[in-house]
Amino acid sequence: MPAHVMTVQGPVDPGDLGFTLMHEHLVTRFWHASHRYDLACMPEDRRYVLEELSRLARTGCRTLVDVTPVGINRDPEALREMAERTGIQVVMGCGWYRDSYFPARAEIDRRSVDSLAEEMLAEIKEGVAGSGVRPGIVGEIGTEKDWMSPAEERVHRAAGRAAAAGGLALMTHSFASDIGLWQLRVLREEGVDPAKVVIGHADTYRLKPYHMALLEEGANIEFDTLLWYRPELFDNALDLIRDYVHEGFLGQLLISMDTCKAEHLSFFGGAGMTAVHDRVIPGLLGRGLSEADISAIFVDNPRRILTVETKVPE
């Protein structure tokens, strides 16, 4: 297969990716984690999500990456149906999320790292059993705290092996600490090219030396909680992005919304999926970024990261 990006509807030419949101969720359920008492899912009534996706398409967005892992309700067939109905190209993830969300049936603590990797690689090659839908990225895989638990380390190692063997990029979930450096170290040990690693939620730990360390190692950092995690610091996030562009890291920056709960949708009072178009891009242009800079963040960088160059066995 020539260079391509794998969507839930099959491979597409990387040139057709267009404007891309790299870290979203269209179907989720978090309720089964014992500590969750918030409105912890996307609405079961799909009409809300479909309407938001249609609005998103009207802003010019062409592609959305759904990094919902197994264990918080990844649903390949639902993703394919939503892509068909809205015309938005959807790229699906694979792997397991983090400690509280590892499904017991995955037996992550009992199987070998290679066996976990093989399960992901089988999906990458043949599609998720029963649906034929193939993941186009590994992740999001994550850490619960500011350390990596033994089970999380096994998942990171397996995910790294699967991503390296399948030629896919890898998205992490890092939160409110410098754990991204630990994630990157483990992934590098497993042969992953840092240029194919996205440290998700990097904006939840806004220490410049931390971001610089990730960027200087060649990884990509993603600002994706701008409007729901400490939204009072929205302006500060845009200032940081402007600074990193000025410092020469434009090619390693990503921005998304991480829509993952009903309350993030406009129908439920949230910023909605179009907030990148409504608020983020005007804010960046107002800080002196050019249209070409915007295009790098939302078109060129996602295309480079998501393009599968190696031949995936048929």
**Does 258 carry a binding-site annotation?**
yes
Does 25 carry a binding-site annotation? yes
Q: Which residue is nearest to Zn ion (CB)?
A: 173
Based on CB atoms, which residue is closest to Zn ion, 7 or 259?
A: 259
Query: In the bound complex, what is the minimum distance in angstroms from residue 97's beta carbon to Zn ion?
Result: 8
Please tell me whether residue 264 binds Zn ion under the rule CB under 5 A.
no
Query: What mask of x and - would describe binding to Zn ion in positions 111 to 130, judged by CB under 5 A?
Result: --------------------
| Stretch of 99-107, 162-170, 172-180, 295-303 lying at the interface with Zn ion (CB under 5 A) | 172-180
Q: Is 277 in the site for Zn ion (CB under 5 A)?
A: no
Nearest distance from residue 142's CB to Zn ion, in Å? 6
173 binds Zn ion (CB under 5 A): yes
For position 157 contacting Zn ion by CB under 5 A, the verdict is no
Q: Smallest distance, Å, CB 44 to Zn ion? A: 21
Complex with Zn ion: residue 202 or 306, whichever CB lies closer: 202
The minimum distance between CB 201 and Zn ion, in angstroms, equals: 6
Identify which range of 87-95, 106-114, 139-147, 186-194 contacts Zn ion by CB under 5 A.
139-147
Q: Give the count of residues interacting with Zn ion (CB under 5 A).
A: 2
211 is in an annotated binding site: no
Stretch that binds Zn ion, among 25-33, 44-52, 137-145, 265-273 (CB under 5 A): 137-145
Q: Is 264 annotated as a binding residue?
A: no
Q: Does 23 appear as a known binding residue?
A: yes
- Which CB sits closer to Zn ion, 4 or 97? 97
Select the span of 85-93, 171-179, 215-223, 281-289 touching Zn ion (CB under 5 A): 171-179
- One-character DSSP codes across the chain: --SBEEETTEEE-GGG--EEEEEE-SS-B-TTSTT--S--B--SSHHHHHHHHHHHHHTTEEEEEE-PPBTTT--HHHHHHHHHHH--EEEE-BSB--GGG--GGG-TTTS-HHHHHHHHHHHHHH-STTT-PPPSSEEEEE-SSSS--HHHHHHHHHHHHHHHHHT--EEEE--SSSHHHHHHHHHHHTT--GGGEEEETGGGS--HHHHHHHHHTT-EEEE--TTTSSGGGHHHHHHHHHHHHHTT-GGGEEE-----SGGGSGGGTS--TTHIIIIIHHHHHHTT--HHHHHIIIIIHHHHHH-B-SPPP-
Known binding-site residue numbers for a divalent metal cation: 23, 25, 140, 173, 201, 258
Annotated binding site: 23, 25, 140, 173, 201, 258
Which residues of this chain interact with Zn ion, rule CB under 5 A?
140, 173
